[in-house]
């Protein structure tokens, strides 16, 4: 089955071609949604077969059938597919969320008219290239798909391009992630220089790793993680993600919560065999992750746009994943344990489900109320029962309430970071940031939930529950948010499953049994600490935003209101980019412009001017006197004769 995995991206791609190219009247229902659903379902079916094969213990990491893409001299570039446990997790995420989002779009995009065709075409293209990214077995192939998902993200953020804010948000997302992409490219160029190949099979082999000097390995892995910083919206390149909320909510759910932003985490996890050779890079990864988690969680506290809260929450959770991966690398090096690695990938999967759920719920709310501003909502729980209930499940999951999925994975991540603290004290600090984030996460999620669904309506809206086409995907995702955490205990458990993907790095120590994992979770006092913090966050949110009569201005007055202002302005990071970075770039472009205008153009125009002036002088030679011309001809012939008869033989030619 695995060798047919290359067919997975083909289904959505065919759907994309059909939607984009078929005549309008053949698009049927919802301007192409039928093709989109067909493509998504086909890919999902095949993905599930492939994933089943992986669960059965088969992987395809070497010797897949390869096709030749480029031949330069005696170097040939071949592409193939790479299916292991990590790819399988991503396949599950992309196929489930992708398919549900396509169904949901049928309801959500109903009012968009003919532009739906563009929407479905772009969504299908995105799903197709996302599958391609996941199954690529070569950094270059991965990079190509990496850029393509960036393109789709750009197109879909700017879906309502007639709105200036959407157009500029799209550009911003594209340009900011491009900074990371350049770093990614630089990283793979360094690897290519030393190893001479970009195939995972060769790079991750002992010989491939040994070919790179250790300082270059640090640089290369840090640069590759730079790609993840851009794509996964890590500090300091995270500000594009909240702006990306200008796109339709379905796009935010699919691309900017569940799949594309996970590509950076996926890349980092994929590069593990290289990363564990460079502990400095791992520390860098973990530090960036920790800072991102905390900064984004604090920024989410003061947002009033429901989607922006979720966007910051996404950034924060992505920070958790990178933090887990960084700590997991230390555990691989020092303790031969895949705990951090499996925890981060586990959180990746769980987060994809509950964050897609939360975004789709937010979409349902926006669909009903017609605004993103939570200050104008309130009391929606009475009219939108399914949405409010599913969103409650999602919020509980992300807050880390047992037995929902977020509890298991977040706890695993934090436990891994805590254990990594034994090998580097930095991780203890990062762990503190992690549990602070856990508290903040619970608080802002329930602040959002209470502001949206509880209390009395704060504006004059006429909300109604969304159609079945939208609520059924919500219910499915809510179900997944409840049960996906139990993957930790199915069969040999998720941990043992993920160990398969990096078993070459582990010294072959036997993995923990499912029972051990469970016992470890429930006997660890840290679990209860995190849980207590999360409950405190929820209670605080309940007190502040549900119980009437609470004076919230107490907090606003802290630090003379400066803190509140800083949070509302998202720590001024965006402002910094606008005020400082953009000005620097603008000044640099002014210099470049002047250089182009005066130096480059000066040279070109100078030559043109020289030609013109010489012409002015030389044309005087053409005076119309035939005898002058004849004389010149005779002189010329005489000169040529002298040249041929005397000068050239004398020179030895």
Partner 1 sequence: MIPIEYWLVFSSLLFVIGAYGVLTRRNAIVVLMCIEIMLNAANINLVMFSSYHSTLHTTVDSTGQVFALFSIAIAAAEVAVGLAIILSVYRRYQTVDVDKINILRW
Q: Which residues bind partner 1 (CB under 8 A)?
A: 619-620, 622-627, 630-631, 634
Please state the closest distance from residue 625 (CB atom) to partner 1, in A. Answer: 5
Q: Are the beta carbons of 403 and 485 closer than 8 angstroms? A: yes
Q: Which is nearer to partner 1, 560 or 625 (CB)?
A: 625
Q: Which is nearer to partner 1, 206 or 624 (CB)?
A: 624
Q: Which is nearer to partner 1, 468 or 628 (CB)?
A: 628
Q: Are the beta carbons of 418 and 526 closer than 8 angstroms? A: yes
Of the candidates 571, 581, 585, 582, the residue with the CA atom closest to the CA atom of residue 235: 571
Q: What whole-number distance in Å separates Cα of residue 261 and Cα of residue 390?
A: 23
Of the candidates 259, 224, 304, the residue with the CA atom closest to the CA atom of residue 568: 304
Question: Three-state SS for 71?
Answer: strand
Running DSSP on this structure, what letter comes out for residue 158?
G
Please state the closest distance from residue 617 (CB atom) to partner 1, in A. Answer: 11
Please state the closest distance from residue 613 (CB atom) to partner 1, in A. Answer: 14
Q: Is the peptide bond before 33 cis (omega within 30 degrees of 0)?
A: no
What tokens does 562 get? 């400066």
Q: Which is nearer to partner 1, 560 or 627 (CB)?
A: 627
What tokens does 126 get? 């995105």
The CA distances from residue 264 to 94, 97, 139, 224, in Å, are: 14, 18, 13, 9
Please state the closest distance from residue 161 (CB atom) to partner 1, in A. Answer: 57
Question: Three-state SS for 178?
Answer: helix
Q: Are the beta carbons of 249 and 363 closer than 8 angstroms? A: yes
Q: Which is nearer to partner 1, 634 or 648 (CB)?
A: 634
Burial class (CB in 10 A: 0-12, 13-18, 19+), 293: buried
Which residues contact residue 393 at a Cβ distance below 8 angstroms, ignoring those fewer than 6 apart? 354, 357, 404, 478, 481, 482
Q: Which is nearer to partner 1, 24 or 619 (CB)?
A: 619
Q: Which is nearer to partner 1, 581 or 614 (CB)?
A: 614
Please state the closest distance from residue 164 (CB atom) to partner 1, in A. Answer: 57
Q: Which is nearer to partner 1, 510 or 612 (CB)?
A: 612
Please state the closest distance from residue 628 (CB atom) to partner 1, in A. Answer: 9
Which residues contact residue 192 at a Cβ distance below 8 angstroms, ignoring those fewer than 6 apart? 198
Inter-helix orientation angle 339-369/405-420, to 10°:
140
Q: Which is nearer to partner 1, 523 or 622 (CB)?
A: 622
Please state the closest distance from residue 626 (CB atom) to partner 1, in A. Answer: 6
Q: Are the beta carbons of 62 and 109 closer than 8 angstroms? A: no
Please state the closest distance from residue 639 (CB atom) to partner 1, in A. Answer: 15
Which residues contact residue 556 at a Cβ distance below 8 angstroms, ignoring those fewer than 6 apart? 564
Q: Are the beta carbons of 185 and 266 closer than 8 angstroms? A: no
Q: Which is nearer to partner 1, 590 or 632 (CB)?
A: 632
Please state the closest distance from residue 620 (CB atom) to partner 1, in A. Answer: 7
Please state the closest distance from residue 633 (CB atom) to partner 1, in A. Answer: 10
Q: What whole-number distance in Å separates Cα of residue 516 and Cα of residue 513?
A: 5
Of the candidates 39, 77, 53, 37, the residue with the CA atom closest to the CA atom of residue 4: 53
What tokens does 402 get? 């047992």
What tokens does 278 get? 């460079």
The full DSSP string for 565-588 is HHHHTGGGHHHHIIIIIHHHHHHH
Q: Which is nearer to partner 1, 624 or 649 (CB)?
A: 624
Please state the closest distance from residue 634 (CB atom) to partner 1, in A. Answer: 6
Please state the closest distance from residue 585 (CB atom) to partner 1, in A. Answer: 52
Question: In degrees, to the nearest 5, what angle opens at C-alpha 513 toward C-alphas 512 and 516?
Answer: 80
Q: Which is nearer to partner 1, 580 or 629 (CB)?
A: 629
Q: Which is nearer to partner 1, 462 or 620 (CB)?
A: 620
Which residues contact residue 263 at a Cβ distance below 8 angstroms, ignoring those fewer than 6 apart? 130, 133, 146, 149, 228, 231, 232
Please state the closest distance from residue 619 (CB atom) to partner 1, in A. Answer: 4
Please state the closest distance from residue 615 (CB atom) to partner 1, in A. Answer: 10
Of the candidates 9, 334, 332, 25, the residue with the CA atom closest to the CA atom of residue 141: 9
| Residues paired with residue 79 on neighbouring β-strands, in sequence order | 67
Please state the closest distance from residue 632 (CB atom) to partner 1, in A. Answer: 10
Q: Which is nearer to partner 1, 590 or 638 (CB)?
A: 638
Q: Which is nearer to partner 1, 523 or 625 (CB)?
A: 625
The three state secondary structure string of 356-405 is HHHHHHHHHHHHHHCCCEHHHCCCHHHCCHHHHHHHHHHHHHHHCCCCCH
What tokens does 589 get? 């472009």
Which residues contact residue 172 at a Cβ distance below 8 angstroms, ignoring those fewer than 6 apart? 239, 240, 243
Q: What whole-number distance in Å separates Cα of residue 293 and Cα of residue 234?
A: 9
Q: Which is nearer to partner 1, 600 or 645 (CB)?
A: 645
């Amino acid at each position: 089955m695995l060798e047919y995995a290359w067919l997975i991206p083909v289904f959505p791609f065919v759907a994309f071609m059909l939607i984009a190219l078929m005549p309008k009247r053949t698009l049927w229902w919802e301007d192409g949604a039928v093709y989109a659903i067909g493509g998504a379902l086909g890919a999902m079916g095949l993905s599930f077969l492939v994933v089943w094969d992986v669960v059965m213990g088969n992987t395809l990491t070497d010797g897949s059938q390869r096709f030749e893409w480029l031949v330069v001299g005696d170097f040939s570039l071949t592409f193939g597919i790479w299916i292991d446990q990590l790819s399988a997790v991503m396949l599950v995420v992309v196929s489930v969320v992708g398919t549900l989002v396509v169904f949901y779009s049928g309801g959500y995009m109903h009012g968009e008219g003919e532009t739906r065709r563009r929407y479905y075409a772009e969504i299908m293209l995105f799903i197709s290239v996302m599958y391609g990214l996941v199954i690529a077995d070569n950094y270059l192939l991965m990079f190509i798909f990496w850029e393509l998902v960036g393109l789709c993200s750009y197109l879909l953020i700017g879906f309502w391009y007639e709105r200036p804010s959407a157009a500029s948000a799209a550009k911003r997302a594209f340009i900011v992630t491009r900074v990371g992409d350049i770093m990614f490219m630089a990283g793979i160029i360094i690897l290519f220089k030393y190893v001479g190949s970009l195939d995972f099979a060769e790079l991750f082999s002992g010989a491939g790793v040994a070919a790179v000097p250790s300082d270059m390995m640090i640089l290369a892995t840090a640069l590759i993680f730079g790609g993840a910083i851009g794509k996964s919206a890590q500090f300091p390149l995270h500000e594009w993600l909240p702006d990306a909320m200008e796109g339709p909510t379905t796009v935010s759910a699919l691309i900017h919560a569940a799949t594309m932003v996970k590509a950076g985490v996926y890349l980092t996890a994929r590069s593990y065999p290289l990363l564990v050779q460079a502990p400095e890079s791992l520390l860098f990864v973990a530090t960036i992750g920790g800072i991102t988690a905390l900064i984004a969680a604090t920024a989410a506290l003061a947002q009033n746009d429901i989607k922006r809260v979720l966007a910051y929450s996404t950034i924060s959770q992505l920070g958790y994943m990178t933090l887990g991966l960084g700590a997991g690398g230390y555990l691989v090096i020092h303790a031969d344990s895949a705990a951090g690695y499996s925890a981060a990938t586990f959180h990746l999967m769980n987060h994809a489900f509950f964050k897609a759920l939360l975004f789709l719920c937010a979409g349902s709310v926006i669909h009903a109320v017609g605004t993103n501003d939570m200050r104008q909502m309130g009391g929606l729980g009475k009219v939108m029962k399914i949405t409010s209930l599913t969103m409650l499940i999602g919020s509980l999951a992300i807050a880390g309430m047992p037995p929902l999925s977020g509890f298991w994975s977040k706890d695993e991540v934090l436990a891994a970071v805590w254990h990594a603290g034994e090998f580097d004290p930095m991780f203890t600090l990062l762990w503190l940031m992690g549990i602070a984030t856990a508290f903040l996460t619970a608080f802002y999620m329930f602040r959002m939930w209470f502001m949206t669904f509880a209390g009395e309506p704060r504006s004059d809206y006429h909300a109604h529950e969304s159609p079945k086409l939208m609520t059924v995907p919500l219910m499915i995702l809510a179900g997944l948010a409840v049960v996906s955490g139990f993957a930790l205990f199915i069969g040999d458990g998720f941990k043992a499953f993920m160990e398969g993907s990096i078993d070459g790095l582990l010294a072959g120590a036997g993995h923990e049994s499912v029972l051990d994992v469970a016992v470890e979770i429930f006997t660890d006092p840290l679990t209860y600490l995190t849980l207590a913090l999360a409950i405190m966050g929820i209670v605080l949110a309940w007190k502040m935003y549900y119980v009437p009569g609470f004076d919230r201005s107490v907090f606003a007055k802290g630090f003379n209101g400066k803190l509140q202002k800083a949070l509302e302005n998202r720590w001024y990071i965006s402002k910094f980019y606008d005020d400082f970075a953009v000005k620097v770039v603008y000044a640099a472009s002014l210099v470049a412009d002047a250089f182009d205008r005066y130096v480059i153009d000066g040279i070109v125009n100078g030559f043109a001017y020289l030609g013109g002036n010489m012409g002015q002088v030389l044309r005087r030679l053409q005076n119309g006197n035939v005898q002058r011309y004849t004389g010149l001809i005779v002189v010329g012939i005489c000169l040529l004769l002298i040249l041929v008869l005397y000068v050239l033989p004398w020179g030895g030619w």
